[in-house]
Amino acid sequence: MAIIGIDLGTTNTLACVFRKGQAELIPNELGVYKTSSAVSVLEDGAVLVGAAARERLITHPERTAASFKRHMGTGRVLSLGERRMEPEELSALVLRQIKADAERYLGERVEEAVISVPAYFNDTQRWATKLAAQLAGLRVQRLINEPSAAALCYRQQTGGGSCKLMVVDFGGGTLDVSIVECFENIIEITGIAGDVQLGGDDIDRAIVDRFCAHCQLERLDPAERATLFRQAEAAKIALTSRPAAMLALQSGGQSHSLVLTRPLLREICAPVFQRVRAVLRRAVQEDAGGIDDVVLVGGSSHMPVFSDFLEELLGRRPTLAARPDEIVALGVGLCAGIKERREELRELVMTDVCPFSLGVATWNDVRDQNPHMAVLIPRGTMLPASHSGSFRTLHDNQRALRFQIYQGEGYYVSENLELGEIEVPVPPGPAGKHAAEVTFTYDIDGLLHVEVCGSGGDRRERLLLNDKLQLDEEELAQAVARLEEVRLAARGTGEDRLLVERAAALFAQAPARWRDEIAAALNGYRMLLDDGDLIALEKARREMRARLDSWEAAIFADPWEEETDV
Ligand code: ADP
Ligand code: MG
């Protein structure tokens, strides 16, 4: 049984397997590698995952969710029509689709996976990812940091030699920066920094805000907002290969438009880039002496304004990795191969570090109001790591020692993320007589395990942090059963579904003069789908694809295309 590697992205999810001596991406039902991380609930209650669901952001925004990776581990509940789902469940549905596609492609059952997470994911977000996989019926063999996976693949692509790299992964929802040292077959991650709420989505939002300010639009309905977001993203992507693009929206009976140029995009991106700068500064402070190359991966790193910005900041031109959108997935595939102990990868060794410091709250004395962090595992410690600390009672006859566990870099615990707390009883006695020992173990996946031992010696307790995210067997079985009731939309119809949703979304966005034509084509196509003559359907499918392509090209035409092609 194969172990598959999964890059569970904010925007796109990809799967990869190690076969015939190399990492091989797994195409989905539509024959493409990227599956949109989008979920939509159909009117009959079935759930649609992928590109067709993404189209429904435009036509059914209230039944559709995307970018939910941003909310992993927050406990936030999202409403999709009559269903209410947590981000872990939505991610589980994406993973279930990926699992099904992989099983079909490989012709065998898939139950084990290596999954990548942003290096800067905290403990809660990592547990949430692990839970999502379990809900999808996958055992997680390893969580690997996304930039580490990218580094692993980059290393394979570029061949041996020793070097020091800065890998910058700028995707849809997260920015991750890692410092990587390569020596022979050893890949060592020596520093990481990041921001898990910063990516292409924020650039799209900034463009939308600028559009609204420019056109003095104060209120947009959900469908108009979704349309505008789509246009903002399309214009941003167009600017990667052209100097200008146009956004246009019909709202309140009026047409509004904005011309986006590279200088304007750069201006709009300024606040986002300020935050990128803060992350890079942290990475450089960690350890950046003697960097040989800055390697860019992730969808947003295609943007020329981004490379220009980095070049100005770092004083060197960064290198856009080959296959920047797939490199993380390919790296996760290699990692899956390492897990399977494949001969070809036997010599490859990779070490990683923890992104945050971990500690417990401590008080200097009884009058101390504001506890600070006693750090047990400092950030940047190589994984796996296990450190202990001993803490004494503060009061006479104190009956128990309570440990509050935090993750973060603030001096005061109030500035850090609380992960949980645990108490152990101690025998009565004067202040300071009794103590308890607490042991933190950070495993290879960056997940924390905690153990405490009171000075009685016999009481040892293991703490489950994030207990909402760590289910015992019975709870897990219930959660899986609950999710299994959710029916994935009928398979084998993926492309038809996508064509229908694309046409519907296009209809919603198109100026009035196009609509009749689109509606006629959509109706005709839907009738054929019900009819089921296979040959006619295949012909219609091809035709519909071509018509949609040409409508999209015409409707979102770039007024400068002619000039800029010269
Ligand atoms: P994630 O790993 O977060 O799922 P990806 O690495 O797939 O994300 O990147 C998705 C982001 O990249 C989106 O915000 C998308 O708009 C942006 N993107 C993709 N291609 C381009 C391009 N050619 N130019 C600019 N931005 C792009
Ligand atoms: Mg990514």
Given 310, 329, 353, the domain boundary residue is 353
Give the CATH number, domain containing residue 428: 2.60.34.10
Q: Is 485 contained in some domain?
A: no
The three state secondary structure string of 37-104 is CEEEECCCCCEEECHHHHHHHHHCHHHEEECHHHHCCCCCCEEECCEEECHHHHHHHHHHHHHHHHHH
Pocket perturbation via mutation, ligand 1, pick of 10, 330, 332 by most ligand atoms within 8 A of CB:
10
**Span from the CA of 298 to the centroid of ligand 2 (angstroms):** 5
Counting from 1 in the atom list of ligand 1, the atom nearest the Cα of 170 is 6
Number of H helices, E strands in the chain: 14, 27
Distance of CA 106 to the CA centre of its chain: 25
**Span from the CA of 57 to the centroid of ligand 2 (angstroms):** 21
Report the alpha-carbon distance of residue 237 to residue 325 in Å, rounded: 14
Question: 489: which DSSP letter?
Answer: P
Ligand nearest to the CA of 199: 1
Cβ count within 10 A of residue 548: 19
Rounded to 5 degrees, φ, ψ at 413 are: -65, -25
Rounded to 5 degrees, φ, ψ at 204 are: -60, -45
Counting from 1 in the atom list of ligand 1, the atom nearest the Cα of 298 is 6
Counting from 1 in the atom list of ligand 1, the atom nearest the Cα of 7 is 2
Same domain (yes/no): 16, 40: yes
The three state secondary structure string of 109-161 is CCCEEEEEECCCCCHHHHHHHHHHHHHCCCEEEEEEEHHHHHHHHHHHHHCCC
Ligand nearest to the CA of 11: 1
Q: Which residues are 412's β-sheet partners?
A: 372
CB 99 within 8 A of CB 138: yes
Pocket perturbation via mutation, ligand 1, pick of 71, 94, 237 by most ligand atoms within 8 A of CB:
237
Same domain (yes/no): 294, 421: no
Report the alpha-carbon distance of residue 71 to residue 55 in Å, rounded: 21
**Span from the CA of 125 to the centroid of ligand 1 (angstroms):** 21
Provide the number of structural domains found in the chain.
3
Same domain (yes/no): 87, 60: yes
Q: Which token pair is 60?
A: 């059914």
Q: Is 254 contained in some domain?
A: no
Same domain (yes/no): 368, 332: no
Same domain (yes/no): 395, 507: no
Q: Which pLDDT does position 146 carry in this prediction?
A: 94
Same domain (yes/no): 166, 315: yes
**Span from the CA of 395 to the centroid of ligand 2 (angstroms):** 50
Q: Which residues are 127's β-sheet partners?
A: none
Report the alpha-carbon distance of residue 201 to residue 103 in Å, rounded: 31
Nearest CA to ligand 1 atom 9: 299
Counting from 1 in the atom list of ligand 1, the atom nearest the Cα of 240 is 24
Task: Tell me whether residue 23 is exposed, middle or buried, using C-beta atoms within 10 angstroms of its C-beta: 0 to 12, 13 to 18, 19 or more.
Answer: buried
With tokens 């109030």, the residue in question is 414
With tokens 């200008």, the residue in question is 244
Q: Which pLDDT does position 560 carry in this prediction?
A: 52
Angle, in degrees to the nearest 10, between helices 494-509 and 512-531: 160
Counting from 1 in the atom list of ligand 1, the atom nearest the Cα of 13 is 4
CB 39 within 8 A of CB 93: yes
Q: How far is CA 482 from CA 113, 137, 486, 538, in A?
A: 22, 13, 7, 37
Report the alpha-carbon distance of residue 409 to residue 474 in Å, rounded: 36
Contact partners, residue 340, CB within 8 Å, separation at least 6:
2, 3, 18
Rounded to 5 degrees, φ, ψ at 192 are: -140, 150
Q: Is 489 contained in some domain?
A: no
Residue 204 belongs to what H/E stretch?
helix 200-214
Same domain (yes/no): 156, 8: yes
Cβ count within 10 A of residue 79: 12
Per-residue pLDDT for the chain (566 aa), expressed as one digit of tens each? 899 999 999 999 999 999 999 999 999 989 999 999 999 999 888 999 999 999 999 899 999 999 999 999 998 999 999 999 999 999 999 999 999 999 999 999 999 999 999 998 998 999 999 999 999 999 999 999 999 999 999 988 888 778 999 999 999 999 999 999 988 888 999 888 999 899 999 999 999 999 999 999 988 888 889 899 999 999 999 999 999 999 999 888 888 999 999 999 999 999 999 999 999 988 887 666 788 999 999 999 999 999 999 999 998 999 999 999 999 999 999 999 999 988 888 888 889 999 899 999 988 777 777 899 999 999 889 999 999 999 888 889 888 888 999 999 888 999 999 988 888 888 888 988 888 889 999 888 888 888 888 776 655 666 666 667 778 888 888 888 888 888 877 655 678 888 988 998 888 888 778 888 898 898 888 888 877 677 888 888 899 999 999 888 887 765 555 444 43
**Span from the CA of 470 to the centroid of ligand 1 (angstroms):** 31
Ligand nearest to the CA of 149: 2
Same domain (yes/no): 45, 87: yes
Ligand nearest to the CA of 145: 2
**Span from the CA of 298 to the centroid of ligand 1 (angstroms):** 6
The beta strand positions in 155-307, using DSSP E, are 163-170, 175-183, 186-195, 244-251, 254-261, 293-297
Same domain (yes/no): 27, 63: yes
**Span from the CA of 238 to the centroid of ligand 1 (angstroms):** 12
Report the alpha-carbon distance of residue 129 to residue 124 in Å, rounded: 9
Which protein residues have a CB closer than 5 Å to ligand 2 (ion)? 9, 171
Report the alpha-carbon distance of residue 334 to residue 156 in Å, rounded: 9
Same domain (yes/no): 302, 362: no
Question: 21: which DSSP letter?
Answer: T
**Span from the CA of 412 to the centroid of ligand 2 (angstroms):** 33
Pocket perturbation via mutation, ligand 1, pick of 34, 272, 300, 305 by most ligand atoms within 8 A of CB:
300
**Span from the CA of 78 to the centroid of ligand 1 (angstroms):** 23
**Span from the CA of 143 to the centroid of ligand 1 (angstroms):** 22
| Domain range enclosing 431 | 358-464
Residue 421 belongs to what H/E stretch?
strand 417-425
Q: Which pLDDT does position 558 carry in this prediction?
A: 59
Given 353, 382, 401, the domain boundary residue is 353
Helix intervals (H) in 367-511: 473-484, 494-509
Report the alpha-carbon distance of residue 299 to residue 27 in Å, rounded: 18
Q: Is 252 contained in some domain?
A: no
Q: Is 343 contained in some domain?
A: yes
Q: Which pLDDT does position 462 carry in this prediction?
A: 67
Counting from 1 in the atom list of ligand 1, the atom nearest the Cα of 239 is 24
Q: Which pLDDT does position 566 carry in this prediction?
A: 34
CB 248 within 8 A of CB 257: yes
Q: Which pLDDT does position 463 carry in this prediction?
A: 64
**Span from the CA of 328 to the centroid of ligand 2 (angstroms):** 7
452: helix, strand or coil? strand
Same domain (yes/no): 311, 450: no
The beta strand positions in 224-331, using DSSP E, are 244-251, 254-261, 293-297, 319-320
Pocket of ligand 1 (CB under 6 A): 9-12, 171-174, 199-201, 233, 236-237, 240, 298-300, 302-303, 325
Ligand nearest to the CA of 196: 1
Give the CATH number, domain containing residue 94: 3.30.420.40
pLDDT digits (tens, 9 = 90+) for 505-531: 888 888 778 888 898 898 888 888 877
Q: Is 345 contained in some domain?
A: yes
Q: How far is CA 60 from CA 123, 478, 555, in A?
A: 34, 30, 21
- CA dihedral for 313, 316, 322, 327, sign (positive or negative): negative
Cβ count within 10 A of residue 74: 13
CB 55 within 8 A of CB 502: yes
Nearest CA to ligand 1 atom 25: 237
Given 353, 375, 400, the domain boundary residue is 353
- CA dihedral for 327, 331, 334, 336, sign (positive or negative): negative
Nearest CA to ligand 1 atom 26: 300
Q: Is 406 contained in some domain?
A: yes
Same domain (yes/no): 344, 377: no
CB 294 within 8 A of CB 168: yes
Ligand nearest to the CA of 328: 2
Ligand nearest to the CA of 118: 2
CB 4 within 8 A of CB 141: no
Q: Is 511 contained in some domain?
A: yes
Nearest CA to ligand 1 atom 18: 299
Q: Tell me the pairing of strands 435-442 and 448-454.
A: antiparallel
- CA dihedral for 307, 121, 291, 331, sign (positive or negative): negative
**Span from the CA of 432 to the centroid of ligand 2 (angstroms):** 50
Report the alpha-carbon distance of residue 163 to residue 176 in Å, rounded: 20
Nearest CA to ligand 1 atom 24: 237
Counting from 1 in the atom list of ligand 1, the atom nearest the Cα of 241 is 23
